Amino acid sequence: MGKARAPRRTLEAYTIKGTNKTIKAGDCVLMRPSDSSKLPYVAKVEIIESDSRGTVKVRVRWYYRPEESIGGRRQFHGAKELFLSDHYDLQSADTIEGKCSVHSFKTYTKLDAVGTDDFFCRFEYNSSTGAFNPDRVAVYCKCEMPYNPDDLMIQCEGCTDWFHPPCIELTTEEAKKLDHFFCQSCSSQDQKKLQNSHAASRPSETKVHQLVEAMNKFDILFSFQHLLAVTQKLTCMSSCKRENIS
Residues at the site binding Zn ion, with contacts judged by CB under 5 A = 141, 143, 156, 158-159, 164, 167, 183, 186
Are 205 and 183 within 8 A, CB to CB? Answer: no
Nearer Cβ to Zn ion (193/226): 193
Inter-CA distances, 73 with 106, 143, 152, 168, 169, Å: 21, 18, 19, 24, 25
Nearer Cβ to Zn ion (111/153): 153
How many residues does the structure list for the chain? Answer: 246
141-175 per-residue burial string, b: 16 or more CB within 10 A, e: under 16: beeebbbbbebebbebebbebbbbbeebebeeeeb
Spatial separation of the C-alpha atoms in residues 42 and 240, rounded to whole Å:
16
18-55 per-residue burial string, b: 16 or more CB within 10 A, e: under 16: eeeeebebebbbbbbbeeeeeebbbbbbeebbbeeeee
120 alpha carbon, distance to own chain's centre:
6
DSSP 40-60: PEEEEEEEEEE-TT--EEEEE
Nearer Cβ to Zn ion (103/164): 164
Are 8 and 65 within 8 A, CB to CB? Answer: no
Nearer Cβ to Zn ion (182/224): 182
Q: How far is the CB of 174 from Zn ion (least distance, A)?
A: 15
Q: How far is the CB of 81 from Zn ion (least distance, A)?
A: 18
Nearer Cβ to Zn ion (78/130): 78
Q: How far is the CB of 232 from Zn ion (least distance, A)?
A: 42
Nearer Cβ to Zn ion (116/204): 204
Nearer Cβ to Zn ion (16/167): 167
Q: How far is the CB of 148 from Zn ion (least distance, A)?
A: 10
